[in-house]
Amino acid sequence: MLRAPGYATLDQNSLSGKDPVHPILPERSQASVPSNSQAQSAGEQGRRYGLRDGACQAITQGSGEQYLSAFALLLQASPFQLSVLSALPQLIGTGAQLASVKLLQWFPDRKSLIFAGTVGQAFAWIPIVLLPLLLPLWGPWLVVGGAAAYFACAHFTTPAWNSLIADWLDQHERGAYFARRAKIIASLSFFALCGAGGVLSLWEDSTAAWWGFVLIFVLAGSARILSALALSPVQDVHQTAHQEAQQGFRGFFRLSATKDFRRFLLFSGLMHASVLIAGPFFVLYMLQDLHLSYLGYGGWLAAGLLGQLLTLRAWGQFGDRYGNKALLSITGFTVPFLPMLYLVSTNLGFLLAVNFLGGVIWAGLALGLQNYVFDSVRPEDRAKAIALYSTVNAVGWSVGALLGSWLVEHLPARIEWGGVIFEPVSNLPFVFFLSGILRLLVSASLLGTFHEARQVERASRQRLLWELPLVKPVARFVVWTLPKLSR
């Protein structure tokens, strides 16, 4: 799933035209086929686990992942090292995803593979914390290496996790379920972010500032252990691991992937590249250029999560009703303007408002990207489709991050055009602006090349705009308020 960089950070029916609730199972003996009651019970356990895993993931993200760049910056990381910290773990994680699809056939079920990867994530926080403190001269690179191991374990579980959860969801309820899960993640991440920022601020002016990072990273690892424990009661009654591993990626892309899905992949990959030109450097801008405290930086991150929290449910309902393509079209043409706004002002209140608006838009874009993949392929192809989708995104992610670091080194900090001088606190707002221009070009050139993947309700453009999150309640409030103010 595409996540907004700065919050961390950027996700067709089946070929037969229908997407059954449960995948087509290979022929098995009657005794091995789960009864309806067994399937319903296992499905409820799986859906409940998905929500609990989301809660644990939120704590890990809010108290761990979100502060990795700040930890590297404490260790004197350069802009290039920050870009590598953003790019390299994604590339390695992609390789882990591709390997996991092949290795599914060697695990008794998808649950075992997910458990192994989740426990690996938990223990990966140990070298992230300890090695840079033991070898501070190599600190930034050791953080990069530890983050690579962490995200490799995280990506290793992604295809199997998504395939497992999607087995229990009807195509018209995925938006609502994943919106509910994302809302849980956003709400808990909000509190974890604020709490971690408060903890870090206690040692902000101390030579032992790393103690704050030790505490929050230990909490992040503990949350992954809790997630692994929450997986224990889940039963993988739809054992499609062998079926999913039968066809290779090349065969899937050539024979099973539709033209719409291929064009969607191109859009997603280029959007990730455009976004990551700016993504790794928000932490540099906030902490180094604007001199925000850790608490202020955490508040800025939390503003984005609050925007997600307030709109995720509405975005999920919007996607279920009008389709994920409509959702992508609206958010794809609004997300380019977010980084451009950082040229306007450095006022903290303004920055919080921009990131709140960013949270609103990113919630819809990320949800639309993820659910479009589910809609576009057959159940038995989901693991491969998700791994392929993640691979394309990771390549775009890495290219964008490295291009961004080059721009940081070479763009001037002062531009004069038409007698008007633009001189922000650094050249980073210019990098952000270029990121926005490229996002706009990607959306304008590619969003019209692929179509909705399932049957959805058709509506006019005006109706779609009226149904956007926050638009209807705000408009109704204005209509209700104006007559009273005119009296």
Residue positions counted in the chain: 487
Structural domain spans, the chain: 39-456
Q: Residue type for 308, please?
A: Q
Q: What is the pLDDT of residue 467?
A: 72
Higher local confidence (pLDDT), 194 or 466: 194
pTM of this prediction exceeds 0.75: no
Nearest to 454 by CA among 327, 265, 320: 320
Nearest to 361 by CA among 297, 404, 318, 299: 318
Q: What is the pLDDT of residue 17?
A: 28
Q: How far apart are CA 94 and CA 481, in angstroms?
A: 51
Q: How many CB atoms lie within 10 A of CB 57?
A: 23
**Alpha-carbon distances, residue 326 vs 43, 48, 262 (angstroms):** 29, 29, 18
Q: Tell me the per-residue pLDDT of 376-433, one tens digit each, with 9 for 90 and over.
A: 877 777 777 877 888 888 889 889 999 999 999 999 888 887 777 888 889 999 999 9
Question: What is the average pLDDT across 97-119?
Answer: 81
Partners of 415 in the β-ladder: 422
Average pLDDT, the chain: 80
Confidence of residue 456 (pLDDT cuts 50, 70, 90): confident
Nearest to 82 by CA among 414, 343, 406, 341: 406
Q: Is the pLDDT of residue 480 over 70?
A: no
Q: Tell me the per-residue pLDDT of 332-355, one tens digit each, with 9 for 90 and over.
A: 999 999 999 999 999 999 999 999
Q: Is the pLDDT of residue 1 over 70?
A: no
**Alpha-carbon distances, residue 254 vs 61, 158, 259, 294 (angstroms):** 36, 23, 10, 48
Q: What is the pLDDT of residue 483?
A: 57
Q: How far apart are CA 396 and CA 273, in angstroms?
A: 4
Q: Which two tokens stand for residue 333?
A: 């043409």
Domain formed by 39-456, architecture? Up-down Bundle (1.20)
Q: What is the pLDDT of residue 24?
A: 27
Q: Which two tokens stand for residue 286?
A: 């906030």
Q: Which two tokens stand for residue 54?
A: 């989301």
Higher local confidence (pLDDT), 81 or 417: 81
Q: How far apart are CA 312 and CA 371, in angstroms?
A: 13
Most confident among 125-134, 181-190, 306-315 (mean pLDDT): 125-134
Q: Is the pLDDT of residue 156 over 80?
A: yes
Backbone angles phi, psi at 464, to 5 degrees: -65, -40
Full 3-state SS string of the chain: CCCCCCCCCCCCCCCCCCCCCCCCCCCCCHHHCCCHHHHHHHHHHHHHHHHHHHHHHHHHHHHCHHHHHHHHHHCCCCHHHHHHHHHHHHHHHHHHHHHHHHHHHHCCCHHHHHHHHHHHHHHHHHHHHHHHHHCHHHHHHHHHHHHHHHHHHHHHHHHHHHHHHHCCCCCCCHHHHHHHHHHHHHHHHHHHHHHHHHHHHHCCCCCCCHHHHHHHHHHHHHHHHHHHHHHCCCCCCCCCHHHHHHCCHHHHHHHHCCHHHHHHHHHHHHHHHHHHCCHHHHHHHHHHHCCCCHHHHHHHHHHHHHHHHHHHHHHHHHHHHHCHHHHHHHHHCCCCHHHHHHHCCCCHHHHHHHHHHHHHHHHHHHHHHHHHHHHHCCHHHHHHHHHHHHHHHHHHHHHHHHHHHHHHHHCCCCEEECCEEECCCCCHHHHHHHHHHHHHHHHHHHHHHCCCCCCCCCCCHHHHHHCCCCHHHHHHHHHHHHHHHHC
Q: What is the pLDDT of residue 42?
A: 60
**Alpha-carbon distances, residue 189 vs 226, 303, 304, 427, 468 (angstroms):** 16, 11, 10, 30, 24
Confidence of residue 19 (pLDDT cuts 50, 70, 90): very low
Q: Tell me the per-residue pLDDT of 235-255, one tens digit each, with 9 for 90 and over.
A: 766 555 445 445 555 666 666
Higher local confidence (pLDDT), 31 or 282: 282
Higher local confidence (pLDDT), 399 or 182: 399
Q: What is the pLDDT of residue 447?
A: 93
- Which positions ≥6 away from 149 have C-beta within 8 Å? 120, 124, 127
Q: Is the pLDDT of residue 478 over 60?
A: no
Q: Is the pLDDT of residue 263 over 50?
A: yes
Confidence of residue 172 (pLDDT cuts 50, 70, 90): low
Backbone angles phi, psi at 73, to 5 degrees: -65, -35
Q: What is the pLDDT of residue 206?
A: 67
Percent of the chain with pLDDT over 90: 29
Nearest to 455 by CA among 14, 24, 23: 14
Q: How many CB atoms lie within 10 A of CB 152?
A: 23
Question: What is the average pLDDT across 143-148?
Answer: 92
Q: What is the pLDDT of residue 183?
A: 79
Question: What is the average pLDDT across 247-268?
Answer: 76
Q: How far apart are CA 262 and CA 253, in angstroms?
A: 8
Q: How far apart are CA 147 and CA 136, in angstroms?
A: 16
